């Protein structure tokens, strides 16, 4: 069993982080939210009040940012593919001038519009991640699901991506951030759901969940939590 007794609600417009160590059930929970897998009965999952969704209909409302989208397409093609829920633009896709205009606007929003004709394989890791954010935002989703957005990035790229996430949160779209890394939890996120061994370890306001005791228990390693003036959290280990 991957998840046990999971039960929570996320309000429209709410920014939350789903936090947990490797193997805690985060990836499975993502697949449940995106309808890639379903709980056995009597489990129930409602997304915007509905239990049954066509995948492409759901993807029209829920933007998904993962690390699996880096293919040898240009930045513009990558962003345009967000309209079709695909990776890249296929021959049967009808791209309108309005779609191209919105794609360029999304790239400009993340300061990578000048790279519109560059293949993703030629961009830096931070630039690639910002292009993928633009792809997720291009079709005006109600919420964005960000899966380990700073994974494998260097310090500069991590900073760029976290600033991009802050722009997303401030734009009005709901953010669901999935991570095991405290510095990913930007100031705009006010609630943290912590997972451990496939169950909810704790769920509540960020300033109540992110403390030395909870994080030591969650990660099973003695930790001290620092909170700086900019509203960012980080670990210190003993």
For a pLDDT cut of 90, what percent of the chain falls above it? 44
Alpha helix stretches (DSSP H) within the chain: 26-33, 55-59, 75-80, 97-109, 125-137, 155-170, 206-209, 212-219
Beta strands 233-237; 174-179: pairing state: unpaired
Confidence bin at 171 (pLDDT 50/70/90): confident
**Residue 62: predicted pLDDT:** 86
Beta strands 62-65; 191-196: pairing state: unpaired
Name, of 37-41, 111-115, 139-143, the range with top average pLDDT: 111-115
Residue 64 has pLDDT above 70, yes or no: yes
Give the CA-trace dihedral at 164, 218, 30, 141, to 10 degrees. -30
Residue 132 buriedness (CB in 10 A; 0-12 / 13-18 / 19+): buried
pLDDT digits (tens, 9 = 90+) for 192-223: 999 999 999 999 999 999 999 999 999 998 88
Number of Cβ within 10 Å of residue 106's Cβ equals 25
Which superfamily, per CATH, for 16-237?
P-loop containing nucleotide triphosphate hydrolases (3.40.50.300)
Q: Which residues contact 32 (CB under 8 A, 6 or more apart)?
A: 3, 38, 39, 45
Confidence bin at 126 (pLDDT 50/70/90): confident
**Residue 190: predicted pLDDT:** 94
Mean pLDDT estimate for the chain:
88
How far is Cα 53 from Cα 33, in angstroms, rounded to an integer?
11
How far is Cα 198 from Cα 231, in angstroms, rounded to an integer?
29
Confidence bin at 68 (pLDDT 50/70/90): low
Q: Which residues contact 187 (CB under 8 A, 6 or more apart)?
A: 166, 230, 231, 232
């Amino acid at each position: 069993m991957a998840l046990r007794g999971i039960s929570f609600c996320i309000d429209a417009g709410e920014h939350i982080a789903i936090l947990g160590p490797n193997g805690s059930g985060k990836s499975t929970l993502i697949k449940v939210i995106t309808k890639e897998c379903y709980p056995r009965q009597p489990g129930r999952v409602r997304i915007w009040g509905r239990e049954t969704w066509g995948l492409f209909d759901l993807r029209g409302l829920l933007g998904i940012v993962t690390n699996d989208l880096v293919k040898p397409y240009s930045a513009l093609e990558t962003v345009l593919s967000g309209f079709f829920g695909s990776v890249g633009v296929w021959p049967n896709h009808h791209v309108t001038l309005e779609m191209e205009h919105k794609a360029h606007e999304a790239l400009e929003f993340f300061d990578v519009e000048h790279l519109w004709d560059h293949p993703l394989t030629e961009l830096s890791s931070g630039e690639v991640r910002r292009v993928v954010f633009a792809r997720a935002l291009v079709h005006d989703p109600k919420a964005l699901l960000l899966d380990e957005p700073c994974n494998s990035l260097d310090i500069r790229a991590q900073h760029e991506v976290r600033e991009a996430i802050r722009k997303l949160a401030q734009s009005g779209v709901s953010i669901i951030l999935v991570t095991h890394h405290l510095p990913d939890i930007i100031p705009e996120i006010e609630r943290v759901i912590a997972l451990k061994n496939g169950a909810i370890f704790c769920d509540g306001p960020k300033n109540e969940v992110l403390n030395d005791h909870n994080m030591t228990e969650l990660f099973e390693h003695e930790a001290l939590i620092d909170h700086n003036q900019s509203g960012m959290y980080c670990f210190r280990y003993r």
